[in-house]
Amino acid sequence: MVCMQAAVEARSLEKKYGNKTVVNKIDLFVPRGECFGILGPNGAGKTSTLRMLYGMNRITSGELFVLGLNVRTHLKVIKSKIGIVPQMDGLDHDFTVMDNLLVFARFVGLKQKQARLRALELLRLMQLEEYKDHSVEVLSGGMKRRLVIARALLNEPELLILDEPTTGLDPQARQWIWHSLEQLKRAGRSLILTTHYMEEAEVLCDRLVIMDRGQILCEGHPKDLIEEHIGREVVEFEVAPEDLNYFVKKVRDQYRYQVINRKIQLFIGEDQDGREAAQLVNTSSIRIRRAALNDVFLKLSGHELRDQ
């Protein structure tokens, strides 16, 4: 049975390139009206998953439904109901800002007059109105991303899919995008986004999955995930390699911990106190901070450097 309330539903979804598995039989369920995040490092399979949603990647096996429709059989209808902000902006640099929107409006089947009105409205919403006759080339990275979001909204989509919407943007531009995405969510649109910025997911997402190597490591509300896997606070300190054992023995009965190179992190639960832990450790350069999604990610995915 397909749930009509689902914006996206995937069952045992798999993507292979030759023998290489990039998405390994994942299950997803995203209710309508939710902002759902897919987090993970580069090469985790986030983009491949998204691209299967809108038919740019063929599904190797499994089932995938978007807005209650099967991607394999109803791709055209699905595409008319969704808006996509891809990683590469795909803007036409030969055209003006306005022409970029008008050409795309024609692709989505809007009549010329309607297209112009809608384009102007969206340029106003994204605060790009004064640039409408400028070449796309003069726009900053943040402005380009806003234009791409405007483009994705031309067909008034029920679901907006965003692939790393703020990658490469400065903090101000990022804040601006977050704000506009929150507004879109409030207007009742479903959102799916990928990101490798944990704080972005904490701010925006109702629920998220963390992916790594094509698999889903965990799923839930950001706060719940932090509480479940890490706790309330993190106490971290660096030690000399030869002292590592000494410190681990000292803390291991009372606290959950992990070791990253020379750094020891203690996870402080609801009923524990970070300062007590710090006193127990009693070494220099101890830091106590709030637990974050980043800690969940590092704990679950391991912490070696990724090359890609």
Partner 1 sequence: MGLTLLTDLFYVPKLGRGAWCVWQRNFLYFRYSIWVSLLWVIVEPILYLLAIGYGLGTLVGDVQGVSYLEFFTPALMVISAMLVVFFESTYSTYTKLTRQKTFDTVLLTSIGPDEVALGEILWAASKGLLSASGVALVAWSQGLIRPEHIVPSLAVVALMCWVFASIGVIFTSTARNYDWFLYAQTIFIMPMYLFAGTYFPLGVLPELVQKIALFLPLTHAVMAVRSIVSGEVQASLFLNLAVLFVMAVFTTNYAVARMRAKLVT
The site for partner 1 (CB under 8 A) is made up of: 17, 54-58, 75-77, 79-80, 84, 86, 88, 90-95, 99, 103-104, 106-109, 152, 155
Give whichever of 24 and 175 is closer to partner 1, judged by the CB atom.
24
Could you tell me the smallest distance in angstroms from the CB atom of residue 17 to partner 1? Answer: 8
Residue in the block written with tokens 């899919």: 161
Give whichever of 77 and 300 is closer to partner 1, judged by the CB atom.
77
Could you tell me the smallest distance in angstroms from the CB atom of residue 187 to partner 1? Answer: 21
The 3-state DSSP class for residue 174 equals helix
Could you tell me the smallest distance in angstroms from the CB atom of residue 99 to partner 1? Answer: 7
Q: Beta partners for 68?
A: none
Could you tell me the smallest distance in angstroms from the CB atom of residue 24 to partner 1? Answer: 18
8 Å CB contact between 130 and 98: no
Contacts of 8 (CB under 8 A, 6+ apart): 28, 29, 30, 36, 53, 64, 65, 66, 67, 159, 192
Q: How far apart are CA 288 and CA 285, in angstroms?
A: 10
Q: Beta partners for 39?
A: 195, 210
Could you tell me the smallest distance in angstroms from the CB atom of residue 30 to partner 1? Answer: 19
166-175 own/partner pairs: CB under 8 Å, 24+ apart: 166/195, 166/197, 166/200, 167/87, 167/195, 167/196, 167/197, 168/141, 169/141, 169/142, 169/145, 170/141, 170/142, 172/142, 173/140, 173/141, 173/142, 173/145, 174/200
Contacts of 234 (CB under 8 A, 6+ apart): 265, 266, 267, 268, 288, 289, 290, 291, 292, 295
Give whichever of 148 and 201 is closer to partner 1, judged by the CB atom.
148
Could you tell me the smallest distance in angstroms from the CB atom of residue 176 to partner 1? Answer: 22
Residue 59: DSSP 8-state: -
Could you tell me the smallest distance in angstroms from the CB atom of residue 84 to partner 1? Answer: 5
Residue 228 CB neighbours (<10 A): 12
Give whichever of 115 and 235 is closer to partner 1, judged by the CB atom.
115
Give whichever of 76 and 186 is closer to partner 1, judged by the CB atom.
76
